[in-house]
Amino acid sequence: MEHYKITQVHGVGSEELKQDFKYIVREGFKEFALNFQPVIPPEYLTRQEVAEILKVSLVTLSDWNKKKILNPYRLGNLIRYKRSEIEQALICINPKKV
């Protein structure tokens, strides 16, 4: 035997109820839109691009890979670096005193 949930609304016309639902849904979407953070896919850079950004040679880049200063990713013969990890690898020498 199936059970149905029935909600009764007294003293409210169908048009007024429809407008109230529209308002509630719109406000919900507005709140969602304000808090929405789209997922940004990671950006991968080539060895040459990283060397140009950091202004170092490809030999230095390979040395930093061996020393685990940078974390390269390999796909077959391709080597790539995540831009976010390159930026995190940079260490602030003189942090501002607050």
The whole-chain average pLDDT of the chain stands at 88
Q: What is the predicted pLDDT for the residue at 64? A: 94
Q: Which amino acid is at 33?
A: A
Q: How many CA atoms lie within 13 A of 97 on its CB side?
A: 0
pLDDT category at 82 given cuts 50, 70, 90 is: very high
Domains in the chain, ordered, with CATH? 44-89 (3.90.105)
Q: What CA–CA distance (Å, rounded) separates 3 from 5?
A: 7
What confidence tens digit (pLDDT) does each residue in 4-19 have?
Answer: 887 777 787 888 888 9
Is residue 95 predicted with pLDDT exceeding 80? no
CA atoms of 53 and 48, how far apart (whole Å): 9
Q: How many residues does the chain have?
A: 98
3-state secondary structure at position 22: helix
Q: Considering the entire predicted model, what is its pTM?
A: 0.57
Find where tokens 């080597």 sit: 79
pLDDT for the residue numbered 62:
94
pLDDT at 71: 93
Distance CA 4, CA 19 (A): 25
